Amino acid sequence: MALSCRGVCRGTSLILLYGKRPVGVKASLCTPSLVSTKSSSLWFVRHYSPSQARHGIGRSVVSGLKWANGKYEGFLQRRFPRFYVVHHTFMRGLQLLFQDGTELRRIVARMLSERIEHQNLPYRDMEKIRQVRRDLIKAFPLVILSVPPFVNDVVFILMYLYPRQLLIRHFWTPQQLVEFQGVYHAQRAKHHWAIVKGLESMSTSVQDSCLKSRLLELCSKVRSGVHPVVSDIHAVRTLFSGPPLGVKRMYADQMRHLCPLLFLTPRLPAFWIGRRLNSHALELMQLDHAIIRLGVHQLNDAELREACYVRGLNPDRLSPGQCQEWLTQWLQFSTHLKESETSLYLHSMVLLTVNYPKPTSLTSEGSR
């Protein structure tokens, strides 16, 4: 009997579709016939759809890459421990950067779909947008430098030699994160006393003698090492809405001393510096209101320290309780400010941080 071409094709396609010989099917070159069994008259066969096959192949590839990467990292850890730290930090940084991008896309999609304004977002979403934007601004020049051919190796060497200047926080080790934050805080701390001195010099332009004396008294308190209370600062808040202490009315030198508090460059025209200071201060004020909506007690230790650091305080040697105490005091001050009082907000990043914690609190903690 001659072979049927149609039967060959049908038999072959059935084998390819179900893999091995199907249960309850005779494998032959002719048309397969079903075989009856004693247990049941229904026939069950394993079925793999093309989509399931693709997912299976994808999982196999991913697991294979994870296995190979684990073996490679193990080899580096045994033979080249210093390079292993760099490689592990880089791979972890890529994962964190990808997670941030995914999270940012989710936040923007929610804002568009639910028509949520930026100032009405939850605190963590607002903080994520702020951090990602700053990271992208810092990483953009490095990306541009990497575009020309044969420059990638040079860029990698520069990244290794100057991680603080060129890399973003995703590619820092935990030790580097603490170290670099200390360096940045030391840079802005150099301008603290110049800012206080600038307030004293600008007080000569204040017409109201009562407000002038309160401002000078506040500056002398800070100079003598006393941590002022919120009421001391609120007593002079009207001076910071217009000249000579308003954010767009103060001297250019004073604005340039305020720039390092927000890690902004002072090498710009005065009118541009005033705009940037005002916009960044308004952004932080919106974040303060978002923290109030969330509740300070809802922040974990890392979020507490980051919130204090962004607002001018170095949390390196502070306990979580001290960070929460200071942030609570700060929110009591900042949430009562108007949008026209951003200058007072910026100056308070010095007035309310330079002498914290109080010497008395340190003594009481030492006695415990």
pLDDT tens digits, 87-137: 777 788 888 888 998 999 999 999 999 999 999 999 999 999 999 999 988
Give the pLDDT score at 58: 67
Same domain, yes or no: 168 and 285: no
Residue 326, SS3 per DSSP:
helix
Same domain, yes or no: 345 and 313: yes
Residue 364 in this model has a pLDDT that exceeds 50: no
Give the pLDDT score at 34: 41
List Cα–Cα distances, 63 to 229, 232, 337, in angstroms: 58, 61, 54
Q: What is the mean pLDDT of residues 199-226?
A: 94
pLDDT tens digits, 39-87: 444 443 444 455 555 566 767 776 776 777 677 667 767 777 777 777 7
Amino acid residing at 203: S
pLDDT tens digits, 8-22: 344 444 333 344 444
Give the pLDDT score at 63: 74
Alpha carbons 291 and 289: distance in angstroms, whole number: 5
| Positive or negative: CA dihedral 21, 26, 30, 31 | negative
Q: What is the mean pLDDT of residues 245-269?
A: 93
> Do the domain assignments include residue 12?
yes
Give the pLDDT score at 41: 42
List Cα–Cα distances, 298 to 119, 222, 294, 295, 308, in angstroms: 19, 31, 7, 5, 15
Give the pLDDT score at 20: 42
Same domain, yes or no: 213 and 167: no
> Do the domain assignments include residue 1?
yes
Residue 359 in this model has a pLDDT that exceeds 70: no
Q: Higher pLDDT residue, 287 or 161?
A: 287
Q: Which residue has the tokens 């568009």?
A: 112
Same domain, yes or no: 271 and 329: yes
Same domain, yes or no: 156 and 195: no
| Positive or negative: CA dihedral 17, 18, 23, 27 | positive
Same domain, yes or no: 141 and 193: no
Same domain, yes or no: 203 and 341: yes
| 236: Cα separation from own chain's centroid | 34
Rg (CA), the chain: 32
> Do the domain assignments include residue 184?
no
> Do the domain assignments include residue 114?
yes
Q: Higher pLDDT residue, 355 or 86?
A: 355
Give the pLDDT score at 108: 94
Alpha carbons 358 and 229: distance in angstroms, whole number: 11
> For the chain, how are helix, strand and coil distributed in percent, rounded to 5?
70, 0, 30
| 201: Cα separation from own chain's centroid | 37
Residue 249 in this model has a pLDDT that exceeds 70: yes
> Do the domain assignments include residue 165?
yes
Same domain, yes or no: 236 and 302: yes
> Do the domain assignments include residue 52?
no
φ and ψ at 36, to 5 degrees?
-75, 150
Whether 3 and 29 have beta carbons less than 8 Å apart is answered as: yes
Give the pLDDT score at 5: 42
Q: Higher pLDDT residue, 328 or 28?
A: 328
Amino acid residing at 170: H
Residue 236, SS3 per DSSP:
coil
Whether the predicted model's global pTM rises above the 0.85 cut: no
Count of domains for the chain: 3
> Do the domain assignments include residue 98?
yes
List Cα–Cα distances, 236 to 51, 174, 206, 211, 257, in angstroms: 69, 41, 11, 6, 20
Same domain, yes or no: 123 and 245: no
Same domain, yes or no: 18 and 135: no
> Do the domain assignments include residue 61?
no
Q: What is the mean pLDDT of residues 259-279?
A: 94
Domain boundaries, position 25: 1-30
List Cα–Cα distances, 133 to 159, 168, 209, 241, in angstroms: 20, 11, 44, 29
Residue 152 in this model has a pLDDT that exceeds 90: no
